[in-house]
Amino acid sequence: MAVKNFPSRRRVDTAKEGHVLQFFDFLSGQELYADDPASVKRMNTRHKHLIEVFKDEIDGSRVFDIASHDGRWAYAFAGAGARQVVGVEARQHLIDLFDNYPDAALRNKVDLRCNDLFQELEHQVALGETYDVVSVFGILYHIMDHMRLLKLVRALQPKLVIVDSEFMLRPGAIIRMVREKTDKRLNAAPQIEGQEVAAVGYPSFRAMNMMADVLGYDIEWVDWDLHPEDDRVGVRDYYRKKGKRRGTCALWPRDRGKVSDL
């Protein structure tokens, strides 16, 4: 199993030279972000490490975006050159906000579907659909069926899976169960009809490594420490020292060749 920080050749340019227009700046005019400049800053910083670092793989690709929220990351994949992005989101009122995004050409590349993510994944697999890139952003710690999700993702035959999640800092390969209210848009969707509190699991970093390994993936962790210390507004969760920390990793099918060849 290959477990390493991302190769230095994939470092993101984080130099600050005055204000340069960034991809998610338009969010400041959107309903969910209008009075929250810190969230816009956070999205732009994450864009560097979740999208820009993979721009070569994304360009011309077909992408499946899991838990699309208001379509923000699906839109970002389209902006990075993806030829098509299919997304699944459980909350229709969030999908409806996507129509307000500014670039019609990018929106037209995106197909957002309101469905349970497992049902949509199973449907895609049953149809024999395949994707070049699958994104698992901000959802892995809002579910309990982690292996079920990753097995379905694997069945889509992606060349790259990008995961961004909260992970426990425990030394072992564990999943910590917690309860989560379902009435908040950033939390788990109801797992059964009328459910007000869902059971979810936070995997540890080692658990993520193990799940990738047994499914035939090499895993590489994006090195967030490369981001300047004075430019971490809104992303401190990627630098926590205790409890849990957010992290980003890439899963590459082991049969693709050696990691060092990329």
The secondary structure of 158-212 as a DSSP string is -SEEEEEEEEE--SSS-EEEEEEESSSTTSPPPSSTT-SEEEEEEEBHHHHHHHH
Q: Is the pLDDT of residue 259 over 60?
A: no
Mean pLDDT of 223-235: 95
pLDDT at position 258 is: 38
97's tokens: 């906000």
Mean pLDDT of 99-124: 98
pLDDT digits (tens, 9 = 90+) for 69-94: 999 999 999 999 999 999 999 999 99
Task: Give me the phi and psi of 18, to 5 degrees please.
Answer: 70, -170
Task: Tell me what percent of the residues of the chain surpass a pLDDT of 90.
Answer: 77
pLDDT digits (tens, 9 = 90+) for 168-194: 999 999 999 988 887 776 677 777 788
Output the CA–CA distances (angstroms, integers) from residue 110 to 43, 152, 218, 241, in the order listed: 19, 21, 29, 37
What gap in Å lies between CA 257 and CA 262, rounded to an integer? 8
CB 48 within 8 A of CB 224: no
Beta-bridge mates of residue 66:
88, 136
* DSSP 8-class letter at 93: H
Quick one: fold of 3-8+23-261?
Answer: Rossmann fold (3.40.50)
